[in-house]
Amino acid sequence: MTMDSWDNAITGQPGGGAVNSHSFGGAVSFFRTPLGRQLDGMDVAVMGVPMDIATTNRSGARLGPRAIRNASMSLAWERPWPWQQDPLQALKVVDYGDCENHLGGGLTSVKHIESWIDPILAANCACLLLGGDHFISYPSLRSHFRKHGPIALIHFDAHTDTWPSSGEGINHGTMFYQAAKEGIVLPEHSVQIGIRTTNDDTLGYQILSAADVYENSAADLVSRIKQRVGNHPVYLTFDIDCLDPAFAPGTGTPVPGGLSSFQALNIIRGLTGINLVGMDVVEVAPAYDHAEVTALAGAQIAIELLALYAACRKPRA
């Protein structure tokens, strides 16, 4: 893909794009960004990881990337409100397609997913992953650690995902325990937001529970998050079950009493200035969704993460 074809795709000129395309027609890609695997000159690659072999309750998140892309089509006609900068104009973004599924599990899947993420990061391109179950954050963190060193984690979720790994290996509830034990993530500089399940051993992660979010202003929460992560490289992961099931029923492990979509987005919008290096949105399971409300929330969060990355990124050397 040439840079001219990229410009045409994003400005709505011949060759496709958001501005002059119907939301209900045309080839499906994330916010109508060009599909391809050419990374020269690209700032961000959006990649689906359609895997849910690490779930502990309802499966189905393997169809999440497709659902998020479909839902994004109806949002692609303008820049996300209230950002003053359109991330799809500020950034060169390519829809990289999906990490091809690999039969098997455990460390085999970890290494396989890493083999897809590593070349993206090696091209000095950031990665936005669309899950897939939350396990996919673990290989992504391993790849980002090799490029950026120890990572500060901003983690939106109903669950801490820091339960000790069992004899069955890493699953979508144990990967941040494993990442902390391996020194990939810095718990003392990491924060988990929206938590409303019991896990007495925090491993040193700061918990901002769902109650904390309801009882404090977004500005106060943002200040605490920024102070926590400091200037460390930040990976932001958003499990859609952070949202209350009223806003995101389509997920494998829903928990009542969660954040509204506005609360979550308000926090994300305040995080400008952090050293954001990687992102993912996970656990959208469309089989349990209603009227695409969960997929729509996932798509909105994903484009807001791109807007945040555009506001945070450092100029290319």
Q: What is the pLDDT of residue 13?
A: 33
Rounded percentage of the chain residues whose pLDDT exceeds 70: 88
Q: Which residues is 237 bridged to in the sheet?
A: 155, 280
Confidence band of 15 (pLDDT split at 50, 70, 90): very low
Percentage above 90 pLDDT, the chain: 73
Convert the pLDDT of each residue in 265-291 to its tens digit: 999 999 999 999 999 999 999 999 999
Interatomic CA distance for residues 74 and 156, integer angstroms = 25
Instruction: Give CA angle at 156 (150, 161), nearest 5°.
Output: 70
Q: How many angstroms separate the Cα of 139 from the Cα of each of 111, 115, 118, 134?
A: 7, 9, 10, 10
Whether 2 has a pLDDT exceeding 50, the answer reads: no
- Segment 307-312 shows an average pLDDT of 96
**pLDDT digit string, tens, across residues 153-185:** 999 999 998 878 765 678 777 789 999 999 999
Asked if pLDDT for residue 5 goes beyond 70, the answer is no
Highest mean pLDDT among 48-57, 93-102, 205-214: 205-214
Q: Quick one: pLDDT at residue 315?
A: 60
Q: Return the pLDDT at 103.
A: 62
What pLDDT, on a 0 to 100 scale, did the predictor assign at position 106?
Answer: 58
Note if the pTM is more than 0.85: yes
Mean of all residue pLDDT scores within the chain: 89
Q: What would the pLDDT profile of 217-230 be if each residue is shown by its tens digit?
A: 999 999 999 999 99
What is the reported pLDDT for 162?
Answer: 86
What is 54-119 written as a DSSP string?
Answer: T-SS---GGGHHHHHHHHHGGGTTSPPTT-SS-HHHHS-EEEEEEPPP-SS-THHHHHHHHHHHHH
Distance CA 39, CA 17 (A): 19
Instruction: Tell me which of 317 and 265 has the higher pLDDT.
Output: 265
Q: What is the pLDDT of residue 316?
A: 56
**CA 223 to chain CA centroid, nearest Å:** 21
Task: Give residue 1's pLDDT band: very low, low, confident or very high (50, 70, 90).
Answer: very low
User: pLDDT value at position 6?
Assistant: 45
pLDDT at 21 over 80: no
pLDDT value for 87:
96
